[in-house]
Structure formats: structure tokens, C-alpha cells
Structure 1
Amino acid sequence: MSNRTKLQLEDAFKELLLEKTFHKITIKDLTDKCHISRMAFYYHFQDLYDLTEWILIEDARKALNEKKDYAHWKEGLSNIFEAVYINKPFILNVYHDISRDKIEKILFKLVHELIESVVEERSKDFLILNQQKDFIAHFYKYGFVGVMLDWIDSGMDEDYQMILDDLEMTVLGTIDLSIQNFTNKKK
């Protein structure tokens, strides 16, 4: 029952964001739309910012959906782009009206998990320090998220599949090369 209420609040919030900006939506708007009490809202969330963060995390978690290996990294990243695009009014509202930092933080965490898994998988046959693997994951994370944030900032009008194709061509073989470069590094 409780998860159903959270999902109901998510849907209502996203619908309201099609009509109003974030700052014009009230808890009463949400609870009226869901036909629940204010206490039901506060049972699950502290405020609208808390609801927003939960939505971002849940949507991101669903988007990645265990596509965190080398064979599926592009599909995992594509799912993230797709989730952002499907929720375009919500994402743009959060991005422009609340805080770019919230979206950035979630994307950094999600993309880092994806890249970290790929680096871990690709480095299993190499002697490479954990801090070096983490450095590689951070490096690619910043590139991927930077490209995605530019896309969001420009209104998400560009076809994200073309962006993914360009990302794939840019990083093709470079993660393996980075791992090898660290293992061949002279001490």
C-alpha cells in the first residue's frame, strides 16, 4: 500500500508540473489530486524536495536496470537518457526551478555506478589499484554526465541516440587502454 501511495504521488506531481512550475505546487495540490490526506503525504516525504529527490532516484534506478557491464554499458546509458527524456517536463522543471545540483548529483551517482562496474569487469585480469580504477570511473563519469547536462540545459531537443553514438565512438576501446596504461606505468 505504501509504495502505491508514493507512486500515486509521483504521477500526480509529474502531472501538476505540466500545468505549473515547481514553486507554485503545494502539498494540498498533490493530496487533493491523489485523494489522500496531508498526513499520508508526510508519512512518506518531508516536503516536495524530498519527493523530487525520491522520484529522481527511483527513475534512475529503474532506468539502469542492471545494464552495468561492458556489453551493455551503452544500453544502460541509453536507458538513463530515455528516462530523462520521458520525464522531460519534470526534469526541466527541477533543473531550472529547483536546482541543477540535484539532477547532477543523481546523474553522477548513477553513471559512476555504471562506469565503475565496467572498469571493474574490464580490469579483472590486470594488476591495478582500486584508486586507479576509481580514477578512471570518475574521469568517464564527468565526461558522460557533462554531455548529458549540456543536452538537458539546451532543452533536450537533440536526438539522444545520436549523442550516444558519438559517445560510443569517442570511448571505443579507451577504457581498456586506460586500464592498460595504469598497469604499464613505471613506479
Structure 2
Amino acid sequence: MSKTTKKAMASTLKRMMESTPFDKISVVNLVEECGINRQTFYYHFQNIYELLGWIYKNEALKKIKDYKSYDTWQEGLLIIFSYVKDNAKFCLNTFNSVGREHLNDFLYNITFKILVDIVKEITADKNIKEEELKFVADFYSFAVIGILTNWMKEGMKQEPKEIVNNVNKLIEGNADRILKNF
């Protein structure tokens, strides 16, 4: 029942965000639209921002768990870009609100999880410190997030597969060369 209630609140928030800026949606508005009481909302979430974070975590993070290797990272990245495009109004509404931090956290966490595993895989036979691995994964994570957020700002005209192919051109072979410098 608990998961069903959370999903109902999540779909209601997403539906509301198609026409209303996130900053203008209150818990009162949400529970009225969803047909639940405020106490039920607060049983599951501390605030509407926590619900927003839950949506990103549960809708997209689960989909990429099997794409965190050097051979499959492009598929994981494609899932991220496709999620943003498929949920454009929701993601853009978040991006243009005070809830942007939740989108940024989601994008960072999901991208970092893919990239840190790839960096570890590439450097399995090398003696590289953990903080250096994290630095390289951070570098690529922020580069991908920058590309993604710029793509969002420009109206998501380019196809996700094309962007992932371009990112692959930048990363292919360069990650190993960069890691040799450490």
C-alpha cells in the first residue's frame, strides 16, 4: 500500500507540473489533486522536495543498474538522456525551479554511479588512489551533466543517441590516457 500511495503522489505531482511551475505547487494542492489527506503525505515524505527526489530516484536510477561497465555505459547514458526527453516538461519544470537541486543531485548521482564503476574497471590493474578515481569520475560526470543541462536549455532538439555517440567520441580512449597521468 505504501509504494502504491507514493506512486500515486508521484504521478499526481508529475501531472501537475505539466501545467504548473513546481514552485507554485504546495502540499495542500498536491493532496487535494491526489485525493489523500495531508497526514498521509507527511507519513511518506517530509516535504514536496523529498517527493521530487523520490521520483527521480525511483523512475530512472533503477533502469541503469545494469549499465555500469565500460562495454555498456553508453546504454546507461542513453537511458538518462531518453528519460529527460520523455519527461521533458517535468524535468524542465524542475530545472527552472528551486527544486533544481534535486534534478542536479539526481543527474550527478546517476552519472557518477555509471562513471566511477567504469573508471574502476579501467584501472583494475593499476595502482590508483581512491580519491584520484573519484576525481576522474567527477570530471566526466560534471562534463556529461553540463552537456545534458545545456541540451535541456536549448530545447532538446538533438536526439539522445546522437549526443551519447558524441560523448563516446570524447571518452573512448581518452579516459585510459587521462588515468595514465595519475
Q: TM-score scaled to structure 2, two decimals?
A: 0.91
- Tell me how far apart the structure 2 counterparts of residues 90 and 98 of structure 1 sit (CA, whole Å): 13
Q: How does 1:77-92 map to 2 (within 5 A)?
A: 77-92=77-92
Considering only CA atoms, is the larger Rg found in Structure 1 or Structure 2? Answer: 1
Q: Which runs of 5+ in 1 are unaligned?
A: 183-187
Q: How does 1:1-187 map to 2 (within 5 A)?
A: 1-182=1-182
Query: Secondary structure of the equivalent of 2:96?
Result: helix
Indicate conservation of the 8 Å contact 1:92/1:155, yes or no. no
- Tell me how far apart the structure 1 counterparts of residues 98 and 113 of structure 2 sit (CA, whole Å): 25
Q: Which moved more, 1:101-110 or 1:139-148?
A: 101-110
- Tell me how far apart the structure 2 counterparts of residues 144 and 26 of structure 1 sit (CA, whole Å): 32
Q: Which runs of 5+ in 2 are unaligned?
A: none
Query: Secondary structure of the equivalent of 1:19?
Result: coil
How far has the Cα of 1:99 moved from its partner?
4.0
Indicate conservation of the 8 Å contact 2:27/2:38, yes or no. yes
Q: TM-score scaled to structure 1, two decimals?
A: 0.89
- Tell me how far apart the structure 2 counterparts of residues 25 and 139 of structure 1 sit (CA, whole Å): 35
Deviations 1:93-148 (A, max 9, x none): 11112243332222112211111000101111112222222221111111111111
Indicate conservation of the 8 Å contact 1:70/1:122, yes or no. yes
Question: Which amino acid in 2 is paired with 1:118?
Answer: I
- Tell me how far apart the structure 2 counterparts of residues 150 and 166 of structure 1 sit (CA, whole Å): 14
Q: Which moved more, 1:68-77 or 1:149-158?
A: 149-158
Q: Which moved more, 1:29-38 or 1:11-20?
A: 29-38
Change (3 A) 1:100 1:26: closer
Question: Which amino acid in 2 is paired with 1:44?
Answer: H
Deviations 1:38-67 (A, max 9, x none): 211111112212211221222331232321
- Tell me how far apart the structure 1 counterparts of residues 98 and 158 of structure 2 sit (CA, whole Å): 23
Change (3 A) 1:99 1:154: farther
- Tell me how far apart the structure 1 counterparts of residues 100 and 35 of structure 2 sit (CA, whole Å): 31
- Tell me how far apart the structure 2 counterparts of residues 101 and 34 of structure 1 sit (CA, whole Å): 25
**Percent identity over paired residues:** 31
- Tell me how far apart the structure 2 counterparts of residues 167 and 22 of structure 1 sit (CA, whole Å): 31
Q: Which residue of 2 is the match for residue 185 of structure 1?
A: none
> How many pairs align?
182
Question: Which amino acid in 2 is paired with 1:136?
Answer: V
- Tell me how far apart the structure 1 counterparts of residues 66 and 50 of structure 2 sit (CA, whole Å): 25
- Tell me how far apart the structure 2 counterparts of residues 135 and 20 of structure 1 sit (CA, whole Å): 38
